[in-house]
């Protein structure tokens, strides 16, 4: 036997070993997914943030624009009923987002139109969706086989500095309000803008008190560190981060610093992890920063000519292709970090699907949550841990906030 044939035998043996290995791994992965799916049948995914209503707005709020009963990939969407089902989703906070440029009555009108989209979706698809107003509603609805549909307002400019507007949004079903989006308000500072109040203004504190009384969750995604700390000092109910990641792993101003994560156990709130690569890894963040800078430059350059600035941005994107900046393991790392700093009771999922392009590898759409939970189980998470991250933690927070609201209403009558 010459050296060449020994080498070829060794090569053949090693390729058998490789294929056996990958077979064993695949089988384990398939078993894991089956295990996760069984867990999610008990406590499904309750995701903190999905921007599907905004996708409808881009089509004039025409509910006929997409057929979400079928795969919507052709519409460049990542959300539809078949994929929500495959993802084990039983509850979804649909974001009724309005951009920070929509202020005053324009913003109020826009958010009402967004809320209307969620109401109409529930009406159009009664076998799939039902509006949920309480934690009990969420459980009843997902047990009946439908997806509990919650309304999350993003951000606080939608109430146009009016507590009456806040109360009316609650009456229409809004169950959280993200205090700010990218821009600081008169009463709350954003993470990505110049501060005005170093946290909350006096009126900002009144907004929190009224949200506590109403039982509307205070969402401190997007706000500045000082606003996070200020809210945590004054709120009587647990808070949420509906879609935020952690600063220690990706240095974005809108991610949550460790000293704030450490305050969560005392407050009882939950940090629901965002899947956007720009918030997950430094590589992702740097690309997002560069793209934003170019967008700002082009907007200034072209003024009101949106078509010209959009066209120029597309050109920029072609010569600066988005890097594959994050994968499923990065999201698991963020969850691990929160678990390490605060504990398993304070982590949730707020993927932000439909709110960004270029999802992490392995988490391409709403069908992929089980793959993330399989990864967490591979890292030693128990079935109980998975239930907490998927849905139990946010349900606990909702219940607690409902209890605080009932108590505050009782006391205010005395």
Active site residue ranges: 49, 51, 154, 181, 222, 243, 352
- The span from the CA of 31 to the CA of 339, in Å, is 25
**What is the signed CA dihedral for 277, 282, 287, 291, rounded to 10 degrees?**
90
Name, in order, each residue with C-beta under 8 angstroms of 387's C-beta and a sequence gap of 6 or more: 39, 42, 43
Of 139, 82, 76, whose CA–CA distance to 366 is shortest?
A: 82
* Alpha-carbon span 116 to 106, nearest angstrom: 15
Alpha-carbon span 36 to 87, nearest angstrom: 10
Q: Collapse the DSSP code of 30 into the 3-class scheme (helix H, G, I; strand E, B; otherwise coil) and give the result.
A: helix
Cβ atoms of residues 363 and 21 within 8 Å: no
Q: Which two tokens stand for residue 291?
A: 């793209």
The β-bridge partners of 97 are 154
Phi-psi region of 389 (alpha: psi -120 to 50; beta: other; left: phi over 0): alpha
**C-beta of residue 242 within 8 angstroms of C-beta of residue 219:** yes
Q: At what angle do helices 225-234 and 202-214 cross, to 10 degrees?
A: 50
DSSP per residue over 207-246, as a string? HHHHHHHHTPEEE-SSB-HHHHHHHHHH-SS--EESS--B
Q: Count the Cβ atoms, other than its own, within 10 Å of residue 147.
A: 26
Nearest CA to 93 out of 242, 274, 268, 269 is that of 242
Structural element, H or E, at residue 149 = strand 147-154
| Phi, psi dihedral angles at 348 (to 5 degrees) | -145, -170
Q: Are 308 and 299 in contact (CB under 8 A)?
A: no
Q: Mutual orientation of helices 163-171 and 104-124 as an angle, nearest 10°? A: 10
Q: How far is CA 328 from the centre of its chain?
A: 15
| Rounded CA separation 247/139 (Å) | 33
**Measured in Å, how far apart are the chain's first and last C-alpha atoms?**
97
């Amino acid at each position: 036997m010459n050296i060449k044939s020994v080498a070829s035998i060794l090569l053949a043996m090693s390729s058998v070993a490789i294929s056996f290995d990958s077979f064993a791994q695949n089988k384990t992965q398939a078993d894991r997914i089956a295990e996760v799916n069984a867990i999610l049948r008990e406590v499904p995914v309750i995701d903190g943030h999905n921007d599907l209503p905004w996708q409808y707005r881009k089509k004039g709020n025409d509910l006929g624009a997409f057929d979400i009963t079928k795969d919507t990939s052709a519409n460049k969407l990542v959300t539809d009923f078949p994929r929500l089902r495959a993802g084990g989703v039983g509850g979804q906070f649909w974001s009724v987002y309005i951009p920070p440029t929509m202020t005053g009555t324009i913003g109020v009108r826009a958010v009402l139109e967004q809320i209307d989209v969620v109401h109409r979706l529930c009406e159009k698809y009664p076998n799939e969706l039902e509006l949920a107003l309480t934690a009990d509603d969420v459980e009843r609805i997902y047990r009946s086989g439908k997806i509990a549909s919650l309304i999350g307002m993003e951000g606080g400019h939608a109430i146009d500095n009016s507590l009456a507007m806040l109360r009316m949004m609650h009456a229409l079903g809004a169950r959280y309000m993200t205090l700010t989006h990218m821009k600081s308000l008169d009463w709350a500072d954003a993470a990505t803008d110049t501060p005005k109040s170093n946290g909350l203004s006096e009126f900002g504190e009144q907004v929190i008190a009224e949200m506590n009384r109403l039982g509307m969750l205070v969402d401190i995604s997007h706000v500045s560190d000082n606003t996070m700390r200020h809210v945590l000092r004054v709120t009587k109910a647990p808070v949420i981060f509906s879609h935020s990641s952690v600063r220690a792993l990706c240095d974005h101003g809108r991610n949550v610093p460790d000293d704030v994560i450490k305050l969560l156990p005392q407050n009882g709130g939950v940090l629901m992890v965002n899947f956007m690569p720009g918030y997950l890894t430094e590589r992702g963040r740097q690309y997002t920063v560069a793209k934003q800078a170019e967008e700002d430059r082009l907007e200034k350059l072209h003024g009101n000519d949106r078509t010209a600035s959009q066209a120029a941005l597309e050109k920029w994107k072609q010569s600066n292709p988005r890097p594959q900046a994050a994968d499923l393991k990065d999201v698991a790392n963020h969850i691990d970090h929160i678990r390490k700093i605060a504990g398993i009771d304070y982590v949730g999922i707020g993927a932000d699907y439909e709110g960004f392009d270029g999802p992490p590898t392995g988490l391409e759409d709403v069908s992929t949550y089980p793959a993330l939970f399989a990864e967490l189980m591979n890292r030693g998470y128990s079935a109980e841990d998975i239930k907490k991250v998927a849905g139990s933690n946010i349900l606990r927070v909702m219940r607690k906030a409902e209890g605080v609201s009932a108590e505050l209403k009782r006391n205010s009558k005395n």
